[in-house]
Structure 1
Amino acid sequence: MKFIKKNILNATFVILLLIMVFVPDAKALVLKGLMEIGFYAPKMEDSKTTAGDLSGIKFKNTDGKILNLGELKGKVIFLNFWATWCPPCRAEMPALNKLYNQFMGNKDIVFVFVDTDGDLNKSVKFMQNRKFQLPVYKVDSEIPEQIFAGSLPTTIIFDKEGRLSFKHEGIANYKDEKFVEFLNKLINY
């Protein structure tokens, strides 16, 4: 009887492990839970670099509208690079959606959620299926490695002067109070 119980427990553990490895939503659910209990708080450091020239860095939405970062001077720019297959990206989406909803009426901040799948329609459907209202774009120009080097998810924030004010590679809980205060300071500066 002990042998059977031990085998059942081992088999259950292996099945759960396989689900975590092969089902992105399962891993995302675990990561989201860890975010909720305080892990993955974004680290805000005073890392403003000199204002760079953001002109020529372009993104396109499904309507074909081009967004040129160089034309957004005077606004805070929130960039998030993500993919539908990325469990950490999936895990942070609910918090990002709440953050977006909190600031979406503010004309001094622009949110750009950049699809790295290479299939913008797939990414838009992903957002719609989950009832997220995040504005999804695809890359329409060269992106400097200082901004995005390929690690997912990556979040970048430029202040109103075009200075790199925040860069985080990896998952983070962006509905964190300190992070919201940080964004408000950039907006009201």
Structure 2
Amino acid sequence: MKQKTMRIKLNSRSIFFGFAALSASLFFSCGNTGTKNEVKTEKVEEPAEATAPTAQELSFRDKEGKVLQLSTLKGKVVFINFWATWCPPCIHELPSIDQLKQSLKDNNDIVFLLVDVDGDMEKSSAFMAENKYDLPLYIAEGDIPAEFLGQSIPTTVILDKAGKIVERLEGSRDYGAPEIKKALEDIASGS
């Protein structure tokens, strides 16, 4: 019975991420160069330097200055989108992320974090307000580990309730499809 349940979980996730990949309207991304939050890249066989935080230590600051540590979100599915106001593919996918968030607004088990990689809260807040997006905006407190953000944006990372990465997607996607909403709900419910 346990294997059957596991197979169902994998199938739901596979369907979700397969659909996300197929429904991508743009398969390109912007280079993540010269941002305040530079990514530390190291070879796997070498020990990690102490300067790059682990996923559990990663934290973000909102426009009110409140710091949110990623580890406090265990028990929730976390949808993190790394973006910038100057990145056309990032801008292209924001309406569908806003639509997805609105469709899940009553689900307290799913949290959205939109992280401006430039760290310019004033500029990104103005952009969100101008476009009437109701998306929770953050900037990273310190460096972003390479397991979250590589060399391009947009990048979306989805964490399960245990805080483990279940998917990392680079490039613009259409997140407005009903199948994506259902897949996130399935991850949140554990099915």
C-alpha separation in 2, matches of 1:141 and 1:103: 29
CA–CA separation in structure 1 for the residues paired with 2:166 and 2:145: 16
TM-score scaled by structure 1?
0.71
What are the Cα deviations for residues 110-156 of structure 1, in whole angstroms up to 9, with x where unaligned?
Answer: 11000012311100110000000101000003321011113110000
Q: Which residue of 1 aligns with 2:107?
A: 106
2:157 and 2:142 map into 1 onto residues whose CA distance is 17
**1:134 — aligned with what?**
135
2:53 pairs with 1:40: no
**CA apart distance, 1:108:** 0.6
Q: Distance in 1 between matches of 2:113 and 2:189?
A: 20
Equivalent-residue separation in structure 2 for 1:182 and 1:56 (angstroms): 27
Partners of 1:188 and 1:111 in 2: CA distance: 17
Bigger relative contact order, structure 1 or 2 (CA pairs below 8 A, ≥6 apart): 2
1:22-171 alignment runs, 5 A limit:
39-40=23-24, 54-171=55-172
For residue 94 of structure 1, report the CA deviation from its aligned partner.
Answer: 0.6
Q: Which runs of 5+ in 1 are unaligned?
A: 1-37, 43-52
**1:124/1:186 Cα in 2 relative to 1: closer, same or farther (>3 Å)?**
same
Which residue does 1:25 correspond to in 2? none
Q: Distance in 2 between matches of 1:175 and 1:76?
A: 17
Query: Post-superposition, which runs of at least 4 consecutive aligned residues in structure 1 deviate over 3 A?
Result: none
Instruction: Say whether the 8 Å CA contact 1:41–1:176 is kept in structure 2.
Output: no
Q: Does the C-alpha gap of structure 1 residues 109 and 172 become closer, same or farther in structure 2, counting only changes over 3 Å? A: same
CA distance in 1, matches of 2:25, 2:162: 26
Structure-2 change in CA distance of 1:120 and 1:54 (3 Å)? same
1:56–1:141 Cα contact (<8 Å) kept = no
In structure 2, distance between residues paired with 1:184 and 1:82: 24
Mapped partners of 1:81, 1:164: distance in 2 = 15
Instruction: Give me the whole-angstrom Cα distance separating, in 2, the residues matched to 1:84 and 1:142.
Output: 19
CA distance in 1, matches of 2:118, 2:142: 15
% identical aligned pairs:
39
- Aligned to 2:153, the other structure's residue is in SS state coil
Contact 1:41/1:174, CA 8 A, preserved across alignment: no
Deviation at 1:39, TM superposition (A): 4.7
Aligned residues: 142
Contact 1:58-1:69 at 8 Å conserved across structures: yes
What is the DSSP-based 3-state SS (H/G/I as helix, E as strand, rest coil) of the residue aligned with 2:161?
coil
Q: CA separation in 2, counterparts of 1:117 and 1:151?
A: 13
Relative to structure 1, the CA distance from residue 143 to residue 117 in structure 2 (aligned partners, 3 Å threshold; closer, same or farther) is closer
Q: CA contact under 8 A between 2:77 and 2:188: conserved in structure 1?
A: yes
